[in-house]
Amino acid sequence: MSAIATESLLAGIDAAVEPNAPLGKRTYFSVGGCADFLASPRSEAALVDITRRCAEAGVPLRVLGEGANLLVDDEGVDGVVVCLDQPCFRERTFDRSADGVTLHAGAGLAMNRLIRESGQRALGGLEQMIGIPATLGGALRMNAGGRWGDIAQSTISLRLVGADAKVRTISASDAGFAYRHTSLPAGIITGAALSLRDEDPKELRERIKEISAIKAASQPLAANSAGCMFRNPADSTGRRLSAGALIDEAGLKGLCHGTAQVSPVHGNFITIETGGSTRHVAELSEQVAQRVHDRHGIRLDREVVFWRRGGSE
């Protein structure tokens, strides 16, 4: 579908629409091309309209969250990219009942903000997500997490606008949460209910401080990087192995390819020079996966999603 036809497709919808919108500045890699159209719906109803119209017209529809865990091709992406950055997708309430505290939050909220506001109320339950750059929606979609746990352990339910433009509420037990995976239907998460618990304020602050310090010391947080490039693979017994350790043992820390480099700090991070090429990141990740396979006989699967024209992972 032509750009003019796509623009007409979005006409009359309550959304901010930007044609030929640069995406690189919205990602942690800080590189990449433009989206044909970037749409910021001002209500869930507007998101439903966008979803329905794109489905009926066969126009690709993607959702952009915090911009972590994402590499956008130098040539950009076709179709419509939705960003849930309007106030309606960033609301949150802390509701107390006899069963505890439930956080109702919009999918466009950054996890670090939710962690901070929960901590200020001496509420635990999200500290396992410290240092993981994501919006709530993105964290839920891939069940983001780390050594201290994942978002699944705090989730009660989530709300999703499906690819069929139907709105549904899905309980955590029906979401199919697994390691960096869910079995959620195609669509866009708009919010969730999360379970929190009262904590001793001092103990919670100390735990948050400890986790933050470990992250800062072991990850290249100041570099242009999307986070861990690969999922931790499982061995024949199902035990998870450290992808970073496998990369390190293969002697790949510091390996460069064009404007991309395997971080000398953490082997599972690929960094890129400012103004670099996404192609270099993609090619370097393939080199790393192949050399780890040659050394260990283990296949690494990418955790970072690549967006390209004509299709994405």
DSSP characters over 85-122: -SGGGS-EEEEEETTEEEEEEETTSBHHHHHHHHHHTT
Written as six digits, the tokens of 188 are 């866009």
Reply yes or no on whether 228 is catalytic.
yes
Catalytic residue among 54, 141, 303, 308: 303
**Closest of 63, 109, 66, 116 to residue 86, by C-alpha:** 109
Q: Are the C-beta atoms of residues 71 and 304 closer than 8 Å to each other?
A: yes
Q: How far is CA 123 from CA 48, 109, 226, in A?
A: 33, 17, 28
CA dihedral 192, 71, 217, 255 (to 10 degrees): 160
Reply yes or no on whether 88 is catalytic.
no
Catalytic residue among 53, 90, 228, 308: 228
* d(C-alpha 9, C-alpha 197), whole Å: 45
Strands 305-308 and 70-72: parallel
**Closest of 294, 284, 190 to residue 250, by C-alpha:** 294
* d(C-alpha 85, C-alpha 109), whole Å: 8
Does residue 310 come out as left (phi exceeding 0), alpha (psi in the -120 to 50 range) or beta?
Answer: left
Catalytic residue among 113, 180, 291, 309: 180
**Closest of 312, 304, 10, 15 to residue 138, by C-alpha:** 304
Q: How far is CA 204 from CA 85, 136, 209, 239, in A?
A: 29, 21, 9, 30
**Dmax over Cα atoms in the chain, in whole Å?**
57
Query: Exposed (0-12), middle (13-18) or buried (19+): which is 236, by Cβ within 10 Å?
Result: exposed
Q: Which residues are catalytic?
A: 180, 228, 303
